[in-house]
Chains A and B, each alone.
Chain A
Amino acid sequence: MIPVCPTSALPPGEATRVAADVTGDVAIAVFNVDGEFYAIDDTCTHQDASLADGWLEGCTVECPLHASCFDLRTGEPSGPPAKTPVRTHAVSVLDGVVHVSVARAEEGAA
């Protein structure tokens, strides 16, 4: 598990990015949606852009560049230009700190 930040540093509607050093140079985006935390791969599957910089609306994040939308719960894209899902990762809160368990390569969005 990777510690991300204290829950107080990630209020509702906000997102942050964390390096997933377990799998190399992959970054993970962590979101707070009305008190629920979600984690997905940070890089849009369409083109190199950070989803943590994106537009959060409900359980959907819109890529900051080309408006691909991904469901934070499943990683599935809901519209073009992205066609490939992002991986999702389990999030837990331990002692007030948000942690992410990085999915293995074959896991994630089903």
Chain B
Amino acid sequence: MTATVAVVGASLAGLSAARAVRARSFDGHVVVIGDEPHAPYDRPPLSKDLLAGTSTLEDVALGTAADEALDLEWRLGTAAVGLDAATRSVRLADGSEVRADGVVLATGARARHLPGTGGLAGVHVLRTLDDALALRADLLAGRSLVVIGAGFIGAEVASTARGLGLEVTVVEALPVPLAGPLGPEMGAVCAGLHADHGTRLLTGTGVARLVGSPRVEAVELADGRRLPADVVVVGIGAVPNVEWLAGSGVALDDGVVTDARGATTVPGIVAVGDCASTWSAEAGRALRSEHWTAALEQPVTAVATLLGEDPAAPAPVPYFWSEQYGSRIQFAGSRRDGDVVRVLEGDPAERSFLAVYERDGRPVAVLGMDQPRLFTRWRRQLRAAEPAVP
């Protein structure tokens, strides 16, 4: 009987897994299951070029001509609703079942909604292609945008909307945006881009409620202020799509629990990308890395694990980027509170600089703004310095 690998999830992590399965010369059956009707597409442009209208659906498609030779069976538009870990059977929303010898869990994450805002017209989250197209239509028709949450998605949407000519206000509950990923000092520097480009940023402010019916008219803040809004974008993080695995026997803890090589607690089942909470030796804990490069790199390791081959060492240095108001922000490494930040090149006030995060005198992370060449050298240096995973 021909062996089957089922890849559950058809975004970057799922496509990367399917490619990795074939790259390992697996000649059995490969089924890729996706809840969205679309073929795999790239999500970073959804808040940037696609939202701005400067790239097309064709541009953001991930598939290439070479993928046609992979002989994949696509089950798109059909969510996985259950998993029997013992038989490695994936149940689909249409009532069918895919029984596999190996399963790659790559169901990603979904945007977190603001409670009580369901059904209100003009209120958006941004995660999928359909989200982006709906938001773009509203931005083109609107004059004022309020973004709730000043994380990367919120900041990028604010930047794109400014470019489209809207008046933009960003509301952030924390005192300093991006303090989690970048630390308070550099978070404040990046958040300064908003004011540079005419976006109003309100920090340390919660949202009490959204006003309007059937269409949003304003955002009311916890301190009573009311911000008029034709369009509202909620960018308050993402939730892993793992509820369908409840009771399956696969251990869950803010995502699918895996070791550094992608193995879940059940043999023959690995997990990758935004749905996976993967052990990180560097961080000393499991991390759910919601970044593009992780979705690209983790499957290479996890698929080797799945096929019982010698896994390549996991990519050791996390990397992500953001583009806001024409500035390119790049970050690599693992930051912790207490790391010392030193600016080695340029000047944050000039919005062009390179900063290194140090712990015990050792560089552990690097941040660049419009310094791609220098940043790349530092990123390489961090990777070289990384101890091998035992």
Contacts and interface: CB of A to CB of B under 8 A. Distances in A.
Interface of A: 47, 49-50, 52-55, 62, 64-67, 79-81, 83
B64 A66 contact: no
Interface string B5-16: 000000010010
Interface stretch (B78-86, B97-105, B235-243, B368-376): B368-376
B51 to A, nearest CB: 15
A54 B296 contact: no
A54 B376 CA distance: 6
Identify the 5 closest CB pairs spanning chains A and B, nearest first: A53-B373, A64-B372, A64-B376, A53-B372, A55-B376
A81 B42 CA distance: 7
Contacts of A65: 321, 328, 330, 372
Contacts of B328: 65
Nearest to B297: A67
Given A47-B49, A83-B61, 8 more contacts: A64-B375, A65-B330, A80-B12, A80-B15, A80-B42, A80-B62, A81-B42, A81-B44
B42 A67 contact: no
Contacts of A67: 292-293, 296, 319
Contacts of A66: 44, 292, 321
Contacts of A55: 376, 379-380
Nearest to A55: B376
A41 B254 CA distance: 43
Nearest to A79: B296
B296 A49 contact: no
Nearest to A17: B373
B289 to A, nearest CB: 14
Contacts of B12: 80
16 contacts: A47-B49, A49-B372, A50-B372, A50-B373, A52-B373, A53-B372, A54-B376, A65-B328, A65-B372, A66-B44, A66-B321, A67-B319, A80-B12, A80-B62, A80-B296, A81-B62
Contacts of B64: 83
Contacts of A79: 296
A23 B49 CA distance: 27
Contacts of B380: 55
B224 to A, nearest CB: 43
A65 B323 CA distance: 10
Contacts of B293: 67
Among A52, A53, A80, the one with the most B-chain Cβ atoms within 10 Å of its Cβ is: A80
Nearest to A84: B64
Contacts of B49: 47
Nearest to A52: B373
A104 to B, nearest CB: 24
Contacts of B379: 55
B296 A64 contact: no
Contacts of B376: 53-55, 62, 64
A65 B328 CA distance: 8
Contacts of A81: 42, 44, 62
A67 B291 CA distance: 12
